[in-house]
Amino acid sequence: MPRDLPLNSLGLPKPPSETRVVVAMSGGVDSSVVAAMLAEEGYDVVGVTLQLYDHGAALAKKGACCAGRDIHDARRVAEAMGFPHYVLDYENVFREAVIEEFADAYLAGATPVPCIRCNERVKFKDLLATARDLEADCMATGHYIQRKVGVGGAELHQATDAARDQSYFLFSTTAEQLDYLRFPLGHLASKAETRALAARYGLPVADKPDSQDICFVPNGDYAAVIEKLRPGAADPGEIVDLAGNVLGMHRGVIHYTIGQRKGLGIGGLGEPLYVVRLDPQTRRVIVGPKEALSTRIIPVREINWLGDEAFDSRAEWNLEVKVRSTRAPREAIIRPVSKTEAEVELIVPEDGVSAGQAAVFYAPEGGRVFGGGWIWKGR
């Protein structure tokens, strides 16, 4: 039997020079630093960038990942660090797996999170398969999340920097994918450290601004994108209260989100009113007082479970749950209905819980991510 080799920095029993790593490169500073860091350590790095939507349209747009400028920037980093770089055309896959569902979900009155679906259905599925085809030992990304090895195998943990943590968007990463993935930035204390590394490596993207928008939604204008994808989607309708009384007219359900207060055009009615429900079938926007937004019981499906025991091996799990990316996890009881469905009971009710959002499960202490699922039935 050969003597066991020491593990390299990626946890593999090989010298870096014999370890091939595919790095998913968006053209931003985070993934560029990952690629440069691994190349400097002597790994056999291969950079891959996905072209996810029309290149021509992308060239005129700033502030989003995977645009034409970003492909160019990723290529420049690869040239500077001396490793190969490939661009893969995933426009059709991205449209079918992400954009079409986004449009349909929005039209159904949900509040979708397309970045999670992109990770689940494109980056960590097709791109990961490509990495295996390239005979890579693992795939690395610039996400701010940590992969740790526990008694049951690879575990997902929140990033050290809570302000940058991306665990909400990566809850659907499966145990099998987690075995193959690496997240070299998850332990960094701040984004300033990442930029300092980029400057140290002399990367051309060291001062590049972070992306803000969903890549196919320019300037955050969801409604404009939906109208283009689904002509006629912005038909006007009634704004009604909880009793069904008509308070005014709206310019299309797609212009509203659960919890919205401003821009309803129905001022002067006394207490502030909020959007509490959207009914695309009747084209109605239902409004009510703030307390009508409170939700305690949340049905969740398509659960990806990352615990050491089977999800349905217990009657309930006492964990913390995050129902929006911008909110902190809250204490909850999760009651499995099947291997992939559950009822989540929040100990303290949350406002503005919406179908289409993710419910992500966390350990009460230590930052471990236990997976999560999709909220599928609103109020």
361: domain CATH number is 2.40.30.10
* pLDDT score of 60: 46
71 located within any domain: yes
2 located within any domain: no
289: pLDDT confidence band, cut at 50, 70 and 90?
very high
pLDDT, average across residues 252-274: 84
Q: Does residue 15 have a pLDDT over 50?
A: yes
226 located within any domain: no
* Among 65, 66, 138, 215, the one annotated catalytic: 215
Query: Catalytic annotation on 115?
Result: no
| Beta carbons within 8 Å of 292's beta carbon, 6+ residues apart | 242, 274, 276, 379
Q: Does residue 14 have a pLDDT over 90?
A: yes
Count of residues in the chain: 379
Domain count, the chain: 3
Check which CATH number belongs to the domain holding 116 and give it: 3.40.50.620
- Identity of residue 367: G
* pLDDT score of 99: 92
Give the domain extent around 353.
294-375
Q: Are residues 46 and 161 both part of a single domain?
A: yes
* Among 65, 66, 115, 118, the one annotated catalytic: 118
Q: Are residues 156 and 199 both part of a single domain?
A: yes
5 located within any domain: no
Q: Are residues 106 and 48 both part of a single domain?
A: yes
Task: Give dist(CA 272, CA 291) in Å, integer.
Answer: 11
Q: Are residues 85 and 119 both part of a single domain?
A: yes
Q: Average pLDDT over the chain, rounded to whole?
A: 90
67: pLDDT confidence band, cut at 50, 70 and 90?
low
| Beta carbons within 8 Å of 353's beta carbon, 6+ residues apart | 258, 295, 298, 323, 375, 378, 379
Q: Are residues 279 and 189 both part of a single domain?
A: no
- Identity of residue 125: K
CA dihedral 211, 142, 178, 132 (to 10 degrees): 100
Q: Are residues 112 and 168 both part of a single domain?
A: yes
Query: Which one has a higher pLDDT value, 175 or 107?
Result: 175
Task: Give dist(CA 201, CA 322) in Å, integer.
Answer: 36
Q: Are residues 270 and 299 both part of a single domain?
A: no
338 located within any domain: yes
Task: Give dist(CA 98, CA 92) in Å, integer.
Answer: 10
Among candidates 132, 99, 304, which has minimal Cα distance to 215? 99
Q: Are residues 158 and 197 both part of a single domain?
A: yes
The predicted-structure confidence for 201-232, as pLDDT tens digits, reads as follows: 999 998 898 877 788 887 778 888 888 888 87
Strands 284-288 and 330-336: unpaired
* pLDDT score of 232: 73
Q: Are residues 64 and 181 both part of a single domain?
A: yes
255 located within any domain: yes
Reported pTM: 0.90
Query: Catalytic annotation on 66?
Result: no
